[in-house]
Amino acid sequence: MNNHEKAGNGATQKTSYRHTFRLAVLIIIFILAALLVRQILVPEAFGLEGSYRAAAVNEAREFPIRHIGEKACIECHDDIASLHDKDAHAAVPCESCHGPGSDHAQAEGDVAIRIPEGKEPCLACHRLLDARPSAFPQIRWREHYKFVGVEDTALDCIRCHSPHEPLFMDRDIRSARLHPLIHRCQDCHTERFDRESRRPDDHPAIFECSYCHKGIVEDFSQRAHSKVQCSTCHMFFKESDFAGRIIRDSDPRFCLLCHREADFRSSDAPPGIEWPGHLEDVAMEPGDREKRCVDCHQQRIHKIMERSESDE
Amino acid sequence: MDFVFPNEANVTWTVMIVLYPFITGLVAGAFIVSSLFHVFGRENLKAVARYSLVSAFVFLIFAPLPLLVHLGHPERAFNIMITPNFSSAMAGFGFIYTAYLLLVLLEIWFSLRSEFIARAKGKGLAAWICRLILLYNLEEDESTKRTDHKITRFLAGLGIPLACLLHGYVGFLFGALKANPWWSTPLMFVIFIFSAIVSGIAVIIFHYFVVSWINGWKIDQVCVRTLAKYLWGFMIVAVALELLEILSLAYKQTEEWEVLRTLIDQKLFFSYIIFQFLILSLIPFLMLAVASLVKLKDRLAYALIWTASTMLLFQVLLMRWNVVIGGQLLSKSLRGFTNYFPGIWDREGLIVAAIIFTLPFGILYVFHRIIPLFPGAVKVRGRNDDQVTDTTAGSGT
Amino acid sequence: MSNRSWTRRDLIKLMAAAPSLLLIVWGPSSSRGQDESDYDAHAHHWGYAVDTTRCIGCGNCMRACRAENDVPEGFYRTWVERYRVGIDGETHVDVADSKTLIFAELSGEISKAFFVPKLCNHCEKSVCTQVCPVGASFQTPDGVVLVDEKHCIGCGYCVQACPYGSRFIDPHTHTAGKCTLCYHRITKGEEPACVAMCPMGARIFGDLNDPRSKLATILRQNRYRVLRPEMGTHPKCYYQGLDREVV
């Protein structure tokens, strides 16, 4: 092709595009080839639901499920489950301690599931950390061992606390009565507080049991168990729909956690007995063998008072 | 101040991602210099016009290399063009890069066509390569030359916004990211473009001096002084924008200022305050001011200009480092920092970075053996057997 | 290479050919790939809630997630942060040990301390899906933000873009990794592993489309907020009891 353009002096000067023809063709071929290759390479189902490969949604569903849930465990282990569901760990899923159970369930037990060892699996939840809600049961294990008179620190927690029945509550947790836990200013005070409000030093100690149960606390402090905290036997947790209630049944196995004679207990340990040998030793009447510890040892603990007897 | 989100302990964008905007910055800057000649008719720059265009092309070829080294799946790199998600600035990379590559390629083809034809008429491998490049069409006369010139001008003009886009989108990529307070600013797009131009001019000056010194060529005094003035002007704008960004943050003192201040005071004190601003910006500014405004003897002026250019080259590299790495050192929890040191022998380490950066200069030398990059260079000293092969009558177009 | 100039006829031919050519090469892609399945993704809109007052920092969620999803050590699809506000007013934040995922006891007097579980917020307007250059980061019709591991190129832009630090580059697959809300579980009627394994009920999962789901109920009955609302990401993970120290 020949085109003409004017030069500065008015005379027309030719420009020739002939030599660009091959180049232009090459470029067009390149662009078309690129578009064609693109069409071939675009993955199927791209752009159907949005700017992504729609098949990826179904692919994401195809990963194996590893944690199978309590129902699958109960199919074979309903004996453990029935203990577990009545004690303090009822809300703790099986697989949170034992790890994912899919392999174990699929092999119907031929492949072992993890059995936690040592103290760490327990301390992961029950180590005393200042960030944990104070009402949650937590300990410093060395202090705890000293308190209950265990000298041998190599012993694990499960020596006394069966992981499936740590406290022997022996009661359907979900139907137990709630205990109100007063711990916030607005539980009593209706007026608004400004930012600078602090609890005055002479504020009554309302966060303690003695505020409502003065009589019981005074009585308790005179008796053998005065060093034990109220919350050890009466488990208060923050009000919730599943965790912890007041122990009212006084199951003997709970007392045995501290008072069972064992060769690993030190000389400072609380007085221990043999069980169920002790029952044989002290039973005088036929009905005595079914009694609970508190039926005979009430005086060691505290008076059971009617609510009207304690100071409000 | 010592908490980072647990997933932030590792830095994702490494020195490769520092290198990539640096290289595309060189491309954009070199191209602007070439366009200053081809479009705006700055005849002073004739001596480096061809070199700047070709070096823009060579750096451009190597620009994707750090990205490919960084990608988790480089074999899927073309997904960016096959299934681009256009809400992402990064998706623009494939198309902008390809378009720009095509443009620069075409501009070289048209502006150097006469040189290719002259070389193609000879013998040997170089001649065969030139014939291939010309698509075996060696026609040439006044009309074709006029066409070539016209198209070159058009492409050089079109290339300016495209170069700004090529480098600016990287700035936008950082600046539009609201999650990172060190990156998030509307100025990032402009800062990147202007510092790119600074680095482009600086690398041309740097390389021109080095090559001339090695080959014993006479320096084109007017060209160098013109470049120095452009460099001075652009660096003032670039540094002013960088300062504006940080001063604005320091004044507003919004929530993220605490962690940003600690970032600057502690992690980036040397690289940002001392080096990027004080040593590598202030000193070149003064040097170029003197070289541009004061009448100096050639040798002294050249020394100042070359030193300033080298320092500015490092300044731009350091700026990229401070932006890319600095932004990842600080935690999005606004509570702490992590650490980064590029490994030496790692896949994304310093040795690989050094190789990627020096390879383009090697390729430039190979090109120079086919078509000389500095036509019209005159020897003033040196060996007699080291002749400049300048086979064309006209040059630079 | 003819000398004839372009005529109007040539131009019309070109204009006719070009659109059809473009349609062929840029038309809709094949519709195969969407298999029939019993799960209707359009019927659900999954959400999540965290009650930070219940978290005891036991780490069950982190361990469950790691086991369920093969999360590499040192990276987290979900994690728990511990905040300790000292009596001097200084706040110290940490996460559990990266190997055992158990919190250790720390010394120092505090005036306040608590745990905050974190995970991907599955934002309605997520930045990660906006910035993914290849469309490998996307939101499913039921509101879950996922990564297409076969398509991801590992550029890491999404990791930079997430304001919550939820994403990482998996060192084994070299693609982006993040919490998937256990998509393989929730689409089969299960809960995510972290929710199922939490003994305190601190994590709640449910269908925002179903007003009678546990999630919708507690959102209605309690006061919740999201992390970094000023980012405009509209997260679908709601927090109760979030302290001002938490970002």
pLDDT of C182 reads 97
pLDDT of A204 reads 63
Decide if A82 is inside a domain.
yes
HEC readout, B206-275:
HHHHHHHHHHCECCCHHHHHHHHHHHHHHHHHHHHHHHHHHHHHHHHCCCCHHHHHHHHHHHCHHHHHHH
If pLDDT is split at 50, 70 and 90, which confidence band does A296 have? Answer: confident
* Geometric angle at alpha carbon A196, from A192 and A198, rounded to 5°: 85
Cβ neighbors of B115 (< 8 A, separation 6 or more) are B371, B375, B391, B392
Q: What is the pLDDT of residues B211-222, one digit of tens each?
A: 999 888 999 999
Residue B281: C-alpha distances to residues B20, B285, B354 (Å) = 22, 6, 24
A43 CB within 8 Å of a chain B CB: yes
Does pLDDT of A205 surpass 90? no
Q: What is the pLDDT of residues B328-370, one digit of tens each?
A: 999 999 999 999 999 999 999 999 999 999 999 999 999 888 8
Q: Within chain C, which residues score under 70 in pLDDT? A: 1-37
Instruction: Give the three-state DSSP class for C15.
Output: helix
Q: What is the pLDDT of residues A65-113, one digit of tens each?
A: 999 999 999 999 999 998 888 888 888 999 999 999 999 999 998 999 9
- For CA atoms B39, B40, B41, B42, the dihedral sign is negative
If pLDDT is split at 50, 70 and 90, which confidence band does B318 have? Answer: very high
Contacts of A129 in chain C (CB under 8 A): 57, 82, 103, 105-106, 113
Contacts of A54 in chain C (CB under 8 A): 33-34
Which of C42, C51, C60 to probe by mutation at the A interface, max A CB count within 10 Å?
C60
- Residue A87, domain extent: 68-115
Residue B345: Cβ within 10 Å count: 8
Q: Which residues of B touch C (CB under 8 A)?
A: 2-10, 12-13, 67, 70-74, 76-77, 79-80, 83-85, 87-91, 93, 173, 177-180, 327-328, 331-335
Number of domains in chain A: 1
pLDDT of A172 reads 58
CA-wise closest residue to B14 among C156, A61, A201: C156
Closest-CA distance, A195 to chain B, in angstroms, reads 22
Cβ neighbors of B169 (< 8 A, separation 6 or more) are B89, B92, B93, B96
Among all residues of chain A, which has the CA nearest to that of B82?
A: A38
Question: B129: buried, middle or exposed (CB in 10 Å: 19+, 13-18, 0-12)?
Answer: middle
A4 CB within 8 Å of a chain B CB: no
Residue C26: Cβ within 10 Å count: 12
- ipTM attached to this prediction: 0.89
Over range A221-226, report the average pLDDT: 90
CATH for C41-78+119-124+177-240 is: 3.30.70.20
Does pLDDT of B272 surpass 70? yes
Residue A138: C-alpha distances to residues A9, A144, A145 (Å) = 98, 10, 13
Nearest-angstrom CA–CA distance, C192 and C144:
12
Query: Which residues sit opposite A13 in a β-bridge?
Result: A5
Q: Can you give the CATH number for the domain in which A110 is found?
A: 1.10.287
Decide if A300 is inside a domain.
no
- Where along chain B do its domains lie? 6-370
Which of C131, C138, C164, C233 to probe by mutation at the B interface, max B CB count within 10 Å?
C131
Q: What is the pLDDT of residues C4-37, one digit of tens each?
A: 566 666 666 666 665 555 555 454 444 434 445 6
CA dihedral A29, A31, A32, A36 (to 10 degrees): 130
Q: What is the pLDDT of residues A136-177, one digit of tens each?
A: 888 999 998 988 888 899 999 998 888 998 877 665 555 454
CA-wise closest residue to B381 among B204, B209, B212: B212
Read off the tokens for A28.
């067009």
C162 CB within 8 Å of a chain B CB: yes
Does pLDDT of B155 surpass 90? yes
Q: How far is CA C144 from the centre of its chain?
A: 7
Nearest-angstrom CA–CA distance, B2 and B330:
10
Residue type, B301: A
Percent of chain A predicted with pLDDT > 70: 75
Does pLDDT of A178 surpass 70? no
Instruction: Give the three-state DSSP class for B385.
Output: coil
Does pLDDT of A6 surpass 70? no
Residue C97: C-alpha distances to residues A3, A125, B46, C101 (Å) = 77, 14, 64, 5
- The length of chain B is 397
Instruction: Give the three-state DSSP class for B203.
Output: helix
* Region of residue C201 (phi > 0: left; psi between -120 and 50: alpha; otherwise: beta): left
- The length of chain A is 312
Q: How far is CA B227 from the centre of its chain?
A: 15
pLDDT of A275 reads 85
Instruction: Give the three-state DSSP class for B310.
Output: helix
Average pLDDT of the residues of chain A: 80
Name residues 50-89 of chain A within 8 A of B (Cβ).
Answer: 51-53
Which of B80, B88, B259, B335 to probe by mutation at the C interface, max C CB count within 10 Å?
B88
Decide if A91 is inside a domain.
yes
Q: How far is CA B77 from the centre of its chain?
A: 23
Nearest-angstrom CA–CA distance, B182 and B13:
15
Contacts of C84 in chain A (CB under 8 A): 130-131
Nearest-angstrom CA–CA distance, B145 and B166:
29
Which of C25, C65, C99 to probe by mutation at the A interface, max A CB count within 10 Å?
C25
pLDDT of A181 reads 53
Tell me the whole-structure pTM to 2 decimals: 0.84
Decide if A73 is inside a domain.
yes
Question: C174: buried, middle or exposed (CB in 10 Å: 19+, 13-18, 0-12)?
Answer: middle
Q: Tell me the CA end-to-end span of chain C in Å, nearest whole number.
A: 68
pLDDT of B54 reads 94
Domain B6-370 top-level CATH class = mainly alpha
Contacts of A64 in chain C (CB under 8 A): 184
Residue B248: C-alpha distances to residues B84, B242, B269, B315 (Å) = 35, 10, 18, 21
Name residues 49-108 of chain C within 8 A of B (Cβ).
Answer: 74-76, 79, 81, 92-95, 98
Closest-CA distance, C47 to chain B, in angstroms, reads 22
Instruction: Give the three-state DSSP class for B328.
Output: helix
If pLDDT is split at 50, 70 and 90, which confidence band does A239 have? Answer: very low
